[in-house]
């Protein structure tokens, strides 16, 4: 929130334990973001180019999720990231399915 920019190789990971449906918004978020909703290493939904700095649009996961990743708007398309892709995380100890903080697409 309140960031004027985000480096192209940076993002935020929100971890949800226990697994649940979540809803995000863009209040005080000054840049467009892609929201990547993940359940146990599989992308279940992607919100692309969420509209910045507003609260009238809500972005529900629609599915139970274990993580939500926020990256710059357009990142998903630029990197060919799709619903159904399998991912792993490295260097985030709270995420059990990887020991080794970078998002990686492992398989389509």
pLDDT for residue 68: 97
- pTM for the full model? 0.87
Q: Looking at the predicted structure, is the pLDDT value of residue 42 above 90?
A: yes
Confirm or reject CATH 2.40.110.10 for domain 12-107, answering yes or no: no
- N- to C-terminal Cα distance for the chain? 31
Give the DSSP letter of residue 80.
T
- pLDDT tens, 46-79? 999 999 999 999 999 999 999 999 999 999 999 9
Composition of the chain by helix, strand, coil, percent to 5: 5, 45, 55
> Domain extents for the chain?
12-107
Phi, psi of 75 (to 5 degrees): -60, -45
Quote the pLDDT of residue 9.
Answer: 85
Confidence at 89, pLDDT banded by 50, 70, 90: confident
């Amino acid at each position: 929130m309140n960031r004027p920019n985000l480096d192209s190789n940076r993002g935020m990971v929100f971890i949800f334990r226990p697994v649940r449906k979540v809803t995000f918004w863009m209040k005080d978020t000054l840049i467009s973001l892609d929201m990547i909703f993940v359940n146990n290493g599989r992308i279940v939904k992607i919100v692309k180019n969420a509209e910045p700095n507003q609260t009238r649009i809500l972005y529900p996961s629609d599915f139970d999720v274990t993580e939500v990743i926020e990256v710059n708007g357009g990142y998903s398309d630029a990197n060919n990231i799709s619903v159904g892709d399998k991912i792993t995380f490295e260097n985030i100890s709270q995420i059990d399915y990887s020991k080794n903080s970078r998002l990686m697409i492992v398989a389509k």
